[in-house]
Chain A
Amino acid sequence: MAMVNLTINGQKVSAPAGSTVLQAARLANIDIPTLCDHPALAPIGACRMCLVEVKGQRTLQPACTFPIAEGMEVQTESQPVTDARKFVLDLLFAERNHYCMYCEMSGDCELQALGYRYGIDHWVYPTYTKRFPVDASRKYFLMDHNRCILCRRCVRACSELVANHTLGVRQRGAASMIQADMDVPFGQSTCVSCGTCLQVCPTGALVDKRSAFMGRDIQTQHIQSTCAQCSIGCGMEIVTRDGNVLRIEGDWNAPVNAGLLCQKGRFDPLYDARPRITKPLVRKNGVLKEVDWDTAVQIVVQALKDTNAKDWGVLTTTYATNEALYLLDKLFRQELGVTNVGLLNDVAPKMVEKANGSLADVNNSDIILLVGANPASEQPVASFFIKRALNKGARLIVVDDQENGLAAFASMNLGMAEVEKAIEFAQRATNPVVLYGAGVTSEAARALQKLSGKAAFVALEPGVNTRAAAALGLNSGFDPSASKALYVLLGEQNWNGELVKKDAFVIVQASYQSPLTERADVVLPMAIWAERTGTVTNTEGRIQKVNKAVEPKGEAKPDWEILSLLASKMGKKIGTSLDEVSAHAAQAIHPS
């Protein structure tokens, strides 16, 4: 790569050609203050905080957009520069309401930090006396226009990252306002509540309702983990304080999502109001009674010994770790010989011998075939990737017999029987991508084989850890009528147990109360997503870590630990430590 040499504050700096002054300075660990700039967004030079002196230039230049050139001489903290930045801050503080003492963001606000840095200790210009609206019409976060500095980070996040184009700016100059769609309340707009704008806002203009006023960033812990609400496997940070989950943020460095999350991942898990199961329960004289773990496990072990393997059925959610699914398979299928085993969700059909595509391929595609999958509601972050590709000029063809959330964005909507038409287009494209889900019919699947070698095939698995469950063979087809006894790894999933025989003996491993746990004979309390450590496999086959952020509620235990406990009580040595089980699970999911 061609390098360009310049000096910043007298220091010799080399940076790749095409870099901006800001990028070059960051490479050399020279700090230039920014406000509207964000590493994940394209620079627009709006706020003028990063103004620097460039020798030979008539005026100060914004470092975030100014390209470097050979021999350039830059000053980042000279008197004219700091004077200009103070002037910019004086103007920013003079607009709207920037009184920190009753602001939620005080302590974490980027504008405030710059006020401190440049010693803004009183107002130079008269401040606004106009009150701006607060829009709290969205469920999860609100917009306080009084705190907005019009940096447009939210607007760019909405269009560049999420490709949802809900946010925009109306009017000009001091009358500028951030708005949704054609100026409607956020709650009635096309907003999908992914919260990306919330995550990039530098001030207290966008505020998370649930974690507002619950502490400064410095008082919290950020635990890196993987979202386990769908099969995409987005990297996230669980933000906790004193053993409580405050909020979830997208991990900018995560390989799959690079910071993005969706409503399902960022907000919904925190609003789950279902009552938890916190103690083992055993049915005695027709009533569920709280017991200790030893008693519950003893009853399960006895039941497993008393009932013939062919009379057992095993059902599992895919809201479970690789470790739990591995142990479930190992204990029931391989050690006990249970054959009636099934999943609580469908699986995408096997399309090509070795799935060759990754979600990253969507970004570089010129035509996307979306077949039998509805990412807009099932894997929203994948739908953001698709819409981003469409922004860059790719075409989308939706092939689905169901209603599809991306139908409005498609150049063509076809029924499953018309899949050939879509294949024709894909064959003429340069980088076609086939995104397929469980809705693909076998005929369509066969027809799509024509594209193997040409297109990147990426499954959008329903459920969460479906890819791992399928790799372990847990989807071998479940017949509820064939089981007199049933072990259900229900986890956090909602399932009413409609298929369960009335007189079957039912053991449920679950986090929340549900019709199934009400009806069960033994209930084993299970930890939820924030309370367990392990790994999950995403729809691309990527194995990623989930980390415990808070202690399990009550006596709940992580999914795999419960199965490990059962196994050891039965005298089966199938792994007791997490590392051991993880290694076995990885081997079983990706046999090398």
Chain B
Amino acid sequence: MAKVKIATDWLAACAGCHMSLLDIDDRIVKLLELVEFTSSPITDLKHPPKEGVTVGILTGAISNTHNIEVAKQMRERCQILIAVGDCATFGGIVASRNLVGTEAALRRAYLETESTVDGVIPDSPELGKPLDRVTGVGDVVKVDLFIPGCPPRADALFYALSELLAGRVPVVLPPEHFVYD
């Protein structure tokens, strides 16, 4: 049987959700017999392949225009999209920026911190433009499964992938894997 292709990427995230994915531990060896990770932010290939994958995993919030592009590309190239972590599902820690406004957050971070000398707010055209409001991935593209948690426990991710490999798409994770923190 051909391996199931999985692509992952992160948006405005801290990498904790990907760490949690690695926390699957030795079970990942078993998993790799059944799936192929085509691309991820921690491997050489960063973009999901053009020919598409079965499962796309996104972590992190939608915080700038680049995040929207990444999310849309992943959505186009995968059959089942999973939003992993509190940032991807709710906006998470990144969304606390909404409480002060993007402009004030940028000013504080790049110009006003106690250790800043000659600070500049980055505005290179290569960079995504920060959005006025941070949201979860579901606000930009259709998401098939939300796995909240900060980060979601490795067991929750393993459970979700196992279910998908068994041909089932969980609607909501069962209580033992469902956490907000």
Which A residues lie at the B interface, using CB under 8 A? 97, 99-103, 106-107, 112, 115-117, 119, 121-123, 126-127, 129-131
Interface residues of chain A: helix, strand, loop or mixed (majority): loop
Which of these, A115, A117, A126, contacts B180 with CB under 8 Å?
Answer: A115
Pick the residue among B86, B143, B172 that contacts A119 (CB under 8 A): B172
Shortest CB-to-CB span from B151 to chain A, Å, is 10
Cα of A112 to Cα of B136 in the assembled complex, Å: 18
**Complex interface: chain B residues within 8 A of A99 (CB):** 86, 90-93, 95-96, 180
**Residues of A with C-beta under 8 A to B179:** 116
**In the assembly, what is the distance between CA of A348 and CA of B123, in Å?**
78
Pairwise interchain contact A121-B92, C-beta atoms closer than 8 A: no
In contact, A100 and B91 (Cβ under 8 angstroms): no
In the assembled complex, the CB of B14 is this many whole angstroms from the nearest CB of chain A, namely 11
A107 in contact with B181 (CB, 8 Å): yes
Give the contacting residue for B136; candidates A97, A115, A122, A130; CB below 8 A.
Answer: A122
- B10: CB under 8 A from chain A? no
| Interface check B127, CB cutoff 8 A | no
**Residues of B close to A121: CB separation below 8 A:** 89, 146-148, 172-173, 178
Q: How many Å from the CB of A483 to the closest CB on chain B? A: 62
Selected from A101, A119, A129, the residue in CB contact (under 8 A) with B133 is: A129
User: What residues on A are CB-neighbors of B150 within 8 Å?
Assistant: 100-101
Q: Does B83 contact A (CB under 8 A)?
A: yes
Contact flags B98-127 to A (C-beta < 8 A → 1, else 0): 111100000000000000000000000000
Bound complex: CA A536 to CA B133 (Å): 59
Q: When the two chains form their complex, are residues B92 and A122 in contact, meaning their CB atoms are under 8 A apart?
A: no
Of chain B, the residue at the smallest CB distance from A109 is B180
| Residues of A contacting B172 in the complex (Cβ-Cβ under 8 angstroms) | 119, 121
Could you tell me if B180 and A106 are in contact, using CB atoms closer than 8 angstroms?
Answer: yes
Q: List 27 A-B contacts (CB under 8 A).
A: A97-B99, A99-B90, A100-B180, A100-B181, A101-B92, A101-B93, A103-B181, A106-B181, A116-B175, A116-B179, A116-B180, A117-B175, A119-B172, A121-B89, A121-B146, A121-B147, A121-B148, A121-B178, A122-B146, A123-B90, A123-B91, A126-B133, A127-B98, A129-B98, A129-B99, A129-B101, A129-B133
B residues neighboring A (CB under 8 Å):
83, 86, 89-93, 95-96, 98-101, 133, 135-136, 138-139, 143, 146-148, 150, 171-173, 175, 178-181
- Distance between Cα atoms of A197 and B87 in the complex (Å): 32
A101 touches B180 (CB 8 A): yes
Q: Do A101 and B146 touch across chains, with their CB atoms under 8 A apart?
A: no
- Assess the B99–A112 pair: CB atoms within 8 A: no
How far apart sit A102 and B92, CA to CA, in the bound complex (Å)?
Answer: 10
- Once the chains bind, are A122 and B98 in contact (CB under 8 Å)? no
Q: Which residues of B contact A123 (CB under 8 A)?
A: 90-91, 136, 138
Say whether A127 contacts B181, CB under 8 Å: no
CB distance from A145 to the nearest CB of B (A): 12
Q: Are B180 and A122 in contact (CB under 8 A)?
A: no
A116 — which chain B residues lie within 8 A by C-beta? 175, 178-180
User: For the complex, what is the distance from the CA of A122 to the CA of B81, rounded to whole Å?
Assistant: 14
Establish whether residues B143 and A122, one from each chain, have CB atoms under 8 Å apart when the complex forms: yes
Q: Nearest chain B CB to A437's CB is how many angstroms away?
A: 50
Q: Which residue of A lies closest to B146 (CB)?
A: A121
A129 to B100, CA, bound (A): 8
With A116-B178, A122-B83 already in contact, the answer to whether A127 and B91 are too (CB < 8 A) is: yes
* A residues less than 8 Å from B147 (CB atoms): 121
Cα–Cα, bound, A129→B96 (Å) = 9
Chain A hits for B148, CB < 8 A: 121-122
Known: A116-B175, A122-B143, A123-B136. A101 touches B181 (CB 8 A): yes
Select the residue from A112, A129, A130 with max chain B CB neighbours within 10 A.
Answer: A129
Name which of B99, B143, B175 has the most chain A CB atoms within 10 A of its CB.
B99
